[in-house]
Structure 1
């Protein structure tokens, strides 16, 4: 599947559109995306809600895996560590890489960086390849 198709799939997901996720770096096994933080993404502490971090990491890891396996995937498990908050007006940037790929399970790592390049969150996710052409 061409990388542009993967971008279209993920950017046109209703949930990703709602969050404002945009994809910019497109290479096989290497995807980058970002969200410009607005007040609608903030929690009661006026920092980005943890679910936004989780969502962008899930999306960037999934898109990265899709560039390699060329099949739909689903998230099986994901853990996240938060290191620093992001505030309104900042840019949240996410990247991912594949750590291990088996026949039906893929493990990936995702990072969220702030606009200065500091890592503000990290995740590891396990994804199942949905074999649609059987």
Structure 2
């Protein structure tokens, strides 16, 4: 089992399970239920993209120093066919620099059929202080945007 973990209420809500993240590769599992489906009763595209985003980002984080996170800069996804049943997502780090990671990944269904493929770019960052207030960073008199 990987030393990495996914700490996200959104990912927990979806039920995405991290199986492995090491040496620039990751594997995740998602057992689809009614909450994951679109009006055609197949995996919603947003769920597919979330699964790919997590697969790619955990692959990139698996080679980063402890305490380093990533943010998604861009991700291109191609959908091949509808997904149903248990999904597996795989991520792979293609190249990294000091501040950036370039990854690819895919989602496959229970039968191993390719559901979607993605490529993405991620920026390495140190974790920001929890609870940091945006309004504290504004200049006096600057509108809040709230």
TM range (shorter): 0.7 to 0.9
Greater RCO (CA < 8 Å, at least 6 residues apart): 1
Q: CA deviation at 1:25?
A: 2.6
Query: After the TM superposition, which residues 1-134 of structure 1 pair with which residues of structure 2 at under 5 Å, given as runs?
Result: 3-4=2-3, 6-7=4-5, 10=6, 12-70=7-65, 71-87=68-84, 90-131=85-126
Q: CA deviation at 1:27?
A: 2.7
Q: CA deviation at 1:131?
A: 4.1
CA root-mean-square deviation: 1.5
Normalising by structure 2, what TM-score?
A: 0.80
Q: CA deviation at 1:129?
A: 0.8
Q: CA deviation at 1:24?
A: 1.4
How far apart in 2 are the matches of 1:108 and 1:65?
A: 7
CA contact (8 A) 2:2 2:19 kept: no
How far apart in 2 are the matches of 1:99 and 1:29?
A: 8
Computing the radius of gyration from Cα coordinates, the structure with the larger value is 2
Q: Give secondary structure in 2 for the equivalent of 1:116.
A: coil
- Residues paired across the two proteins, number: 125
Deviation string for 1:18-77 (max 9, x for gaps)?
Answer: 000011134321210010000111111111100001001101111111110131110000
Higher helix share: 1
CA contact (8 A) 1:66 1:72 kept: yes
Q: CA deviation at 1:108?
A: 0.2
CA contact (8 A) 1:94 1:110 kept: yes
Normalising by structure 1, what TM-score?
A: 0.87
